[in-house]
Amino acid sequence: MQLLPATLEEMFKNGYSNGLNGSVIKLDDAISREEAICIVRAMEDIKATKTIEIGVASGVSALAICYTLHKMGNPDVVHYGVDPNQMTYYGGAAIANLKKENLDGIFHLLEGPSHEKTIELIQKNMTVDFAFIDGWHTFDYTLVDFFLIDKLLRPGGIVAFHDMYGLAKQKVLRYIKTHRKYEVLEQYLVRGNESFIKTFKFFIWRIYKKPRLLFSGYHWKYQIRNSSGLLFLRKKEQFEPPFHFYKPF
């Protein structure tokens, strides 16, 4: 069985997706093919069977995740997709593409804001093996997304963040490293697919757009070697800090 489904490969080739009504959705805000492969690798390594993503959009990541779950051969696999705009702005594109691959039975759409819908799974005592956070990119929404995902993610599970070159998301990463027990998994970084010159130009362009990135340890450690903003973290253990706990971040 191939690494990615044919529908997804076609989407990467054409640069767009189709909604349920045939509308055309450009893949401007989607993960890249290299990033999709990294997600597949991470899921296979932990033998994920229950997964969740925040921000479904055109369905690129949903296709990669559901296809990987299907390949596992476990009848109990399930993927939850949280998105308030799937059936409106995106015209049901993710569902349309999953139907093409007969993967829609694995997918459960939770249509609404993530801070409302993720709680529904927590209340049902659900646990997940893998989570992908690619929702609203501000610090507060990303932090809330992580906080709720942490309640669902089992120890040893993996959470991935997209667009980590954003300063708001890097602030969330500092919170995670100081207030929870997670480790960065550098083996899943997207590297080696671009020339150094192309990557360095992109690095400089980001600093030009946001000069504060000059002082970003994350940017210098990770982004100078690749243009992808995809980062994976493994949950080492279930941890709740003491009542008065605080560390600067």
Residue with tokens 């969740």: 52
Rounded to two decimals, what is the model's pTM? 0.94
pLDDT (average), residues 35-50: 97
User: Which residue from 5, 123, 13, 111 is spatially nearest to 55, judged by alpha carbons?
Assistant: 111
Q: Measured between alpha carbons, how far is 36 from 23 in angstroms, rounded to an integer? A: 23
Q: Give the dihedral of Cα atoms 22, 26, 32, 38; nearest 10 deg.
A: -40
Could you tell me where the DSSP H helices lie in the chain? Answer: 6-14, 33-46, 60-72, 93-100, 114-123, 139-152, 167-179, 196-209, 217-218
Query: Quick one: pLDDT band at residue 239, thresholds 50, 70, 90?
Result: very high
**What is the reported pLDDT for 185?**
97
Residue 222, helix vs strand vs coil = helix
Residue type, position 196, single letter? F
Q: Please write the tens of the pLDDT for every residue from 131-176.
A: 999 999 999 999 999 999 999 999 999 999 999 999 999 999 999 9
The helix (run of H) or strand (run of E) holding residue 22 is none
Q: Measured between alpha carbons, how far is 200 from 202 in angstroms, rounded to an integer? A: 5
CATH superfamily entry for domain 6-193+228-235: Vaccinia Virus protein VP39 (3.40.50.150)
Where are the chain's structural domains?
Answer: 6-193+228-235
Contact residues for 48 (Cβ-Cβ < 8 A; gap 6+): 68, 69, 72, 129, 130, 157, 158
Range name among 21-25, 85-89, 129-133, 191-195 with the lowest pLDDT average: 191-195
* Residue 177, beta-bridge partner list: none
